[in-house]
A = this chain, B = another copy of it.
Amino acid sequence: MKKYLVNLEGIGIPKYKKIAIHIKKLIDENKIKDGEKLPPIRKLAEELNVNNVTIVNAYNKLESEGYAVQKIGSGTYAKRKEVAINFKKKYSNVVRRISSEKLRNYIDFSGEAASSELFSVSSFKEVINKVLDRDGTEALVYQEALGYEGLRESIDKYFWRNSVDSDNILIVSGAQQGIDIVSKALINVNDNVVVEKPTYGGALTVFKWRRANVVEIELQEDGMDLDELEKVLKKNKIKCVYIMSYFQNPTGISYSSIKKRRLLNMAEIYDFYIIEDDYLSELIYNGDEYVSFKSMDTNDRVIYIKSFSKIFLPGIRLGYLISPHDFKENIQNSKVNTDIATSSLMQRVLDMYIKDGMWKGHIKKLNEIYRERYEFFRNALEALEEYVDFILPGGGLHFYVKIKEGLIDSMELFYQCEKDGVLITPGIIFYKNPKEGKEYFRLSFSQTDLYSIEKGLGIIKNIFKQCK
């Protein structure tokens, strides 16, 4: 009962509201569990020294907001589903706070982009000054809507061996914007969109905004379950399939070449488009060759989205799209109406980075450092085999970990970790239905050195131990 005690003094907010807010907080923070019975009305009224009707009002409010279910003759119970939805908010609030300077003393396994510490500010400064000296105000005015021509040409030359026309490349402000822009150009209300299950939460939100009908197809170890997809395709018109080709977020899974070929064939047969989100393909540790869907795309079925923020600098919002010929104009218009154009100066800086070979050097350095962390992390995770299972991604910046049955759910794990100064990403962020994914969590090593990896995993192990 002690946890229900709440300060009811002061004017303004009515007492029943204060009580409801307090209980909501307890549920959000998992101090009241899903399905846990709330105290009987009379008992809580006594405890808090209020009228019964105040508690009735508080419980009614909780129910109306999806935080409780009242069962006639039995009492009122805390509700879990909405907890998960609220948890998503809570999670992003925590993670947002973390990125501010104040909270740097967490061990952060929630990162999504390469650490800025691995980036040389002095060489960045050199490049930016060179660009300003070379281009003057020209560097600071509007670009063509497509983006800076020099950068588009460099992308074509250095990343695609001149195989895509630079006119088909559109510079965007990061991959998230890429997904948003493609959605606006491609997806209408009630269109069917297929995603991997689980998938990147930011993409789910964008598709939801477009009021698309999102269909999740289970991931297997070599990519999406294409038999399952074909069943769906036979019954429904699908507009597009959103996939991450390498080191999928969150699972770390990459597509086999067989699945790549088959999915491309299916796109032609069933007339849909593939949105390929190239998330982290620069960081391959197991020697596999990098072959994108786009590079195999003979029928112009792939919309390729590349983020530079993940491996270059997250604060520099840059990425690009390659659009099929048919959507080129739509996608360009979509960009203009979204934010006119992407900042010009940084496009020129990145261009010079690529042309001067600094990009290549940076990627090489990232590969060396992260490969070491990856191996270290893998070994440390293997020492947790009593508690978790995981798949080896072979590249990228994270592991997707499955908690052994009955041990603890990952939201609860999140709260316990946060308390102990460790940040993880619970699986529920990556599913359409927030009831799913509770047995998974994602651990990223992008922001953690070997010492923090060891320490952080040690803390997690202790939490697991206590659960047993």
Contact = CB atoms under 8 A, between A and B. Distances in A.
Interface stretch (A53-61, A119-127, A436-444): A119-127
Given A100-B149, A209-B184, A141 B338 contact: no
A339 B317 contact: yes
A121 B101 contact: no
Given A132-B121, A202-B337, A343-B343, A315 B177 contact: no
Contact of A140 (B116, B136, B177, B180): B116
Interface string A141-157: 11111000100000000
A143 B173 contact: no
Interface in A148-193: 149, 173-174, 176-177, 180, 184, 189
How many copies of this chain does one complex carry? 2
Given A315-B345, A343-B315, A142 B129 contact: no
Nearest to A95: B145
A96 interface: yes
A205 interface: yes
Interface string A105-129: 0000000010011010100110011
Contacts of A173: 173, 317, 339, 343
A85 interface: no
A316 B140 contact: yes
Interface string A246-260: 000000000000000
A317 B140 CA distance: 10
A139 interface: yes
B121 A140 contact: yes
Q: Determine which residue in A124, A174, A338 has the highest number of CB atoms from chain B within 10 A of its CB, and name it.
A: A338
A313 interface: yes
A140 B128 contact: no
Nearest to A132: B125
Contacts of A113: 142
A420 B63 CA distance: 69
Contact of A142 (B125, B145, B205, B314): B314
Interface in A194-249: 202, 205-206, 209, 211
A340 B174 contact: yes
Contacts of A119: 137, 140
A47 B345 CA distance: 53
Contact of A141 (B139, B174, B206, B314): B314
Given A121-B140, A140-B124, A340 B317 contact: yes
Most buried by B among A136, A317, A336: A317
A129 B121 contact: no
B99 A141 contact: yes
A361 B317 CA distance: 29
A92 interface: yes
A344 interface: yes
Contacts of A206: 337
15 contacts: A89-B329, A96-B144, A96-B336, A101-B138, A121-B139, A125-B129, A125-B132, A129-B129, A140-B316, A143-B315, A176-B340, A205-B337, A206-B337, A316-B345, A343-B343
Interface of A: 89, 92, 96-97, 99-101, 113, 116-117, 119, 121, 124-125, 128-129, 132, 136-145, 149, 173-174, 176-177, 180, 184, 189, 202, 205-206, 209, 211, 309, 313-317, 329, 333, 336-346
Given A140-B316, A143-B315, A315-B341, 16 more contacts: A92-B336, A96-B336, A100-B144, A121-B139, A124-B132, A140-B313, A141-B313, A176-B337, A180-B339, A202-B340, A205-B337, A315-B345, A316-B343, A316-B344, A317-B340, A345-B346
